[in-house]
Chain A
Amino acid sequence: MVICRNINKTYGEVVALRDINLHVRKGELFGLIGPDGAGKTSLFRILVTLILPDSGQARVNGLDVTTSLKEIRRSVGYMPGRFSLYQDLSVEENLKFFATVFNTSVEANYELIRDIYVQIEPFRKRRAGKLSGGMKQKLALCCALIHSPEILFLDEPTTGVDPVSRVEFWDMLDRLRQRGITIMVSTPYMDEASRCNRIALMRDGRALSVDTPENIRASFSRPLYALRSAGMYALLNDLRGYEGAHSCYAFGDAHHLTLGSEADGAEAELRSWLDRKGYADAQLSRIEPCIEDCFMELARQ
């Protein structure tokens, strides 16, 4: 459905995208995962024909983004980073307006948005500007879906939304995918990667890795340990000085430590070092990496 080949884009001296190569298959939920400034928005804007790439080719639904502007615009749904709603129009008016803009009616595609719309229907007379983040997000999604697009581009739909609403939102995307809609979504929250079929980890305009979340985690090559102890902050500083350490980051209630070598004695050596340093209580366990571990490891390279 989406193919990008060697996409480059610069704004003056700032490089927004460097040699992006990826493809999104039909019916897939594809995630662009990366912090602000990674180039996610620029890539979306190229794909929905709002900006032109400096070089490289991109096709959406088999159509070239530089030449088939009208055809692409007709078949995609797009939700920009800020929830692009008319703040002074009511929920209902926003939805109706976007329906007519896309030459359709709310009734014609109600089936598709029903699940989502019923949640905001009690507030249909309320102005969009008076809705909370979670509700605006739902309304914006309804508006992007109203013309039953074949492919949906959602730019950071969960940013600034609380964790509970975020989970609900991903559940909605799951149901849309089951209906056969191809979805491309971006997010700065690494933990949301697991909700996607495939992801591209992005940083500073580069795609660090494009694969399924499982494969990306499996390709993490170093031994990874979670450490817990009483004095967490002191432990973190000490671990940084440990010779065998490759990297060490705070990870919620534990520190994640990667070792420089996979050698058999490495773990035992770490244990005895901890004892010597006075962390006799330290709990050490070998763990599987999460996407955030992978991202930081890839970013180091």
Chain B
Amino acid sequence: MNNVIETNQLTKRFGSFTAVNSISFSVGRGEIFGFLGANGAGKTTAMRMLCGLSVPTSGTARVAGFNVYNEQEKIKKSIGYMSQKFSLYADLRVWENIRLFGGIYGIHGKRLTEKTDELLDILDLRGERNTMVASLPLGWKQKLAFSVAIIHEPAIVFLDEPTGGVDPATRRQFWELIYQASARGITAFVTTHYMDEAEYCNRVSVMVDGKIEALDAPLALRQKYGAANMNEVFHGLARKAQRSDE
């Protein structure tokens, strides 16, 4: 099995409103997949279905080999999730957060201790072991949140605008963590509003009005649309949007 995500005509309707309209795509193992779209294009709904949080109206999708209709619990065990809004408990210490999320994903005892040390080493956070997460700078928090999201070596990690508001240098360090995870075979499924970050992805899809309007490697997309960068590609596509809002 080389594709960790496979969808076929995946659709979600809310009443008469089609939030996600028959999307078909696949994402390979270890791939960094950019999932772009304007607000209201249907990104969040699509991502919820893939994470097993929302049952599709029609179509099929397999995530990490599991069916999104009836194997949600298995999906949840094989994915990691991190969003800009919520990721760590601010009123717990760094190691307490690691222990908590490690425990949630079934890592205990000696292995958890090893994992914790390893993780703090990689992030250079050894000295901050007992610091409250609330008092860490945002960039560190996000890096820690990412490492915690993949503490159980999931097949896929879903990243929902992980770098919003993070300072430019830290933003780049964050992407290096994504590269390292991808080299280990973890697939990264990323949404972002920074168009330069779209360039870091192996492939990028752009959703417009619930459909996938374009899907290819950034270079191929730039060539196809005669654009100088992904920003122009995105604007060209997103301007076509008919529905102004969800």
Contact = CB atoms under 8 A, between A and B. Distances in A.
Whether the complex brings A and B within 8 Å at their CB atoms is answered yes
B1 interface: no
A260 interface: no
A201 B41 CA distance: 32
A270 interface: no
B184 to A, nearest CB: 13
A47 B138 CA distance: 25
A123 B195 contact: no
Interface of B: 37-41, 84, 135, 137-139, 161, 164-170, 172, 175, 179, 193-200, 218-219, 222, 229-231, 234-235, 238-239, 241, 244-246
Contacts of A295: 168
A166 B230 CA distance: 16
A160 B229 contact: no
A164 B197 CA distance: 16
A292 B168 contact: yes
B164 A252 contact: no
A35 B168 CA distance: 8
B178 to A, nearest CB: 10
A62 interface: no
A166 B38 CA distance: 10
Nearest to B142: A36
Interface string A230-268: 000100000000000000011111000000000000000
Contacts of B170: 35
A34 interface: yes
A273 to B, nearest CB: 22
Interface of A: 14, 34-38, 123, 131-135, 159-167, 188-191, 203, 233, 249-253, 292, 295-296, 299
A188 B246 contact: no
Nearest to A247: B169
Contacts of B137: 37
A14 B138 CA distance: 14
10 contacts: A35-B165, A37-B138, A132-B245, A135-B244, A164-B234, A253-B199, A253-B222, A292-B168, A296-B168, A296-B169
Contacts of A164: 38, 234-235, 238-239, 241
Contacts of A134: 38-40, 245
A190 B165 CA distance: 10
A163 B229 CA distance: 14
Contacts of B38: 134, 162-165
Contacts of A38: 167
